[in-house]
């Protein structure tokens, strides 16, 4: 199966449709599939539901899809760095399904493992539990959370071979593997495609069976929150 595509537009060809659910990897601006996001913006597809830790920042990452109003609903755990997100949510233009961060990651992982739901203590007795089934185990209450089964996963990796085995770099490893797992089709953009057999099997973070298409490209490495120390004076 040929998995390597020439560019992001080709890698997404035939996969996008109105009203679909997309799982997007990344954490803040770390490990985000920016090339694939740009291709989705270019496609003009609308009414998207996106499951991702957050929604980028104004004008970058998933924030670009907010600017074009292609996203109608976000399933997120953190939304604090995007003023346009706040504006659309408060004005009723954008629906938000808020998740505790670990719950969102587990919902993605569960979907990838074929698990339709699981019980967790996280969120019991809060707004997170409203409308959800509550069950007691050993005298403790747990709420039912549903696994996420996305129509498409878009992720960003450091290295890949042509069979789709992926290696993520540092913090980019957190949400990308579960996001990749839960999609019926997974498209990965990578910084480098290496020869088959050159990756140490013990260091592969996501096996190629989860990955259907790969594109290599150049990426902008932004710093989300730049913190510097004041220059000391004598």
Q: Is residue 27 part of a domain?
A: yes
Q: Is residue 202 part of a domain?
A: yes
- What average pLDDT does this structure show over 73-100? 93
- CATH label of the domain that carries residue 85: 3.40.1080.10
Q: Is residue 227 part of a domain?
A: no
Q: Is residue 127 part of a domain?
A: no
Domain count, the chain: 1
pLDDT tens per residue across span 113-133: 999 999 999 999 999 999 999
pTM of the model: 0.93
Q: Is residue 122 part of a domain?
A: no
Q: Which two tokens stand for residue 226?
A: 């730049």
The answer to whether the beta carbons of residues 52 and 74 sit under 8 Å apart is yes
pLDDT (0 to 100) of residue 234? 62
Q: What's the domain range around 147?
A: 4-117+132-216
Q: Is residue 208 part of a domain?
A: yes
Q: Is residue 126 part of a domain?
A: no
Query: Chain-wide mean pLDDT for the chain?
Result: 94
pLDDT tens per residue across span 159-191: 999 999 999 999 999 999 999 999 999 999 999
Nearest to 129 by CA among 100, 92, 95: 100
Report the distance separating Cα 157 and Cα 192, nearest Å.
9
pLDDT (0 to 100) of residue 173? 93
Q: Which two tokens stand for residue 6?
A: 């020439």
**Range list of H helices, the chain:** 8-11, 34-43, 63-67, 83-90, 101-112, 176-181
How big is the chain, counted in residues? 234
Q: Is residue 234 part of a domain?
A: no
- What average pLDDT does this structure show over 95-102? 95
């Amino acid at each position: 199966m040929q998995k390597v595509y020439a560019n992001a537009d080709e890698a997404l060809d035939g996969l996008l449709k109105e009203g679909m659910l997309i799982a997007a990897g990344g954490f803040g601006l770390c490990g985000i599939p920016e090339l694939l996001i740009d291709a989705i913006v270019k496609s003009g597809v609308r009414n998207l539901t996106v499951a991702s830790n957050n929604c980028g920042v104004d004008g970058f990452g998933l924030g670009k899809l907010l600017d074009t109003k292609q996203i109608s609903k976000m399933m997120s755990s953190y939304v604090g760095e995007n003023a346009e997100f706040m504006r659309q949510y408060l004005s009723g233009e954008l629906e938000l399904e808020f998740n505790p961060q670990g719950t969102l990651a587990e919902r993605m992982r569960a979907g990838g493992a074929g698990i339709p739901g699981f019980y967790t203590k996280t969120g019991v007795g809060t707004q997170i539990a409203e409308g959800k089934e509550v069950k007691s185990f050993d005298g403790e209450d747990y709420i039912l959370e549903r696994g996420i089964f996305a129509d498409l996963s878009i992720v960003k990796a450091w290295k890949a071979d042509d069979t789709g085995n992926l290696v993520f770099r540092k913090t980019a490893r957190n949400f990308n593997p579960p996001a990749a797992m839960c999609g019926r089709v997974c498209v990965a953009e990578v910084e480098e495609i290496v020869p088959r057999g050159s990756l140490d099997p013990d260091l592969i973070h996501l096996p190629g069976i989860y990955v259907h298409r790969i594109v290599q490209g150049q990426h902008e490495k932004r710093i989300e929150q730049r913190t510097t120390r004041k220059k000391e004076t004598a």
